[in-house]
A and B are shown apart, each in its own frame.
Chain A
Amino acid sequence: GAVVSQHPSRVICKSGTSVKIECRSLDFQATTMFWYRQFPKQSLMLMATSNEGSKATYEQGVEKDKFLINHASLTLSTLTVTSAHPEDSSFYICSANGGQITDTQYFGPGTRLTVL
């Protein structure tokens, strides 16, 4: 099946700093990737849809200036949490449609962000 990687797997940062998370499709090209946030014992909440070569589409309530998304190539999307605060601490997961099987979304392993 399609493989999606994410880096880093875990990051701890100080309040006010920015953190970049990378999402890569390893064996297929993904024109569309998705970014989710998951708080403990909660569901996956879609933050934004990332499209290669164009601006991301953000869900209602997600601050586009705080969560910067760049999808510069068909295999890489990045999420930058700017001026992170403790309330941004969460599990961030990306996903991508699995190449030719456009309906199926494959998820990355997630990034655990802790803001001190």
Chain B
Amino acid sequence: GENVEQHPSTLSVQEGDSAVIKCTYSDSASNYFPWYKQELGKRPQLIIDIRSNVGEKKDQRIAVTLNKTAKHFSLHITETQPEDSAVYFCAASISGGYNKLIFGAGTRLAVHP
């Protein structure tokens, strides 16, 4: 089955710096890759997603890149702010059917003022 690895497990940056989180997946059939942000004790919130027919997607300060050949995808946050501090999870699934999401282990991002 699918396996998703995520790095780093923790990331500390200064406000205004960029943050990059990387994930790799094992199943070449996976074609949908969402990123979720989870604050302590709350539900995961979808922040951006990408499908395998696209190499890059951007939404304001957040961007995701996908390399299908290498089977890895990355989240880029620019101009980080303290409110970006949270745990970020990547996930992979095969679109259609039951669309089961397999999550990475998570990255705890701390943005220091």
Contact = CB atoms under 8 A, between A and B. Distances in A.
**A-B interaction:** yes
A44 interface: yes
- The size class of the interface chain B forms with chain A is 20 to 34
Nearest to B93: A103
B89 A57 contact: no
B95 A43 contact: no
Nearest to A45: B103
Interface string A98-116: 0000111111111010000
Contacts of B45: 107
B42 A110 contact: yes
Contact of B101 (A34, A51, A102): A34
Chain A contact surface mostly: strand
A32 B41 CA distance: 24
A32 B101 CA distance: 12
Contacts of A51: 98
A102 B98 CA distance: 9
B100 A107 contact: no
Given A43-B104, A44-B103, A110-B42, A105 B34 contact: yes
B100 A102 contact: no
B103 A34 contact: no
Contacts, number: 57
B102 interface: yes
Interface of A: 32, 34, 42-46, 49, 51, 57, 91, 93, 95, 97, 102-110, 112
A43 B105 CA distance: 5
A15 to B, nearest CB: 24
Contacts of B101: 34, 46, 95, 105
Contacts of A91: 41
A103 B102 contact: no
Nearest to B9: A41
Residue from B46, B95, B96, B104 having most chain A Cβ neighbours under 10 A: B46
Contacts of B49: 103-104
Given A57-B98, A95-B101, A107-B45, 19 more contacts: A32-B98, A34-B101, A42-B105, A43-B104, A43-B105, A44-B44, A45-B103, A46-B100, A46-B103, A51-B98, A91-B41, A102-B99, A103-B32, A105-B34, A106-B46, A107-B43, A109-B42, A110-B42, A110-B43
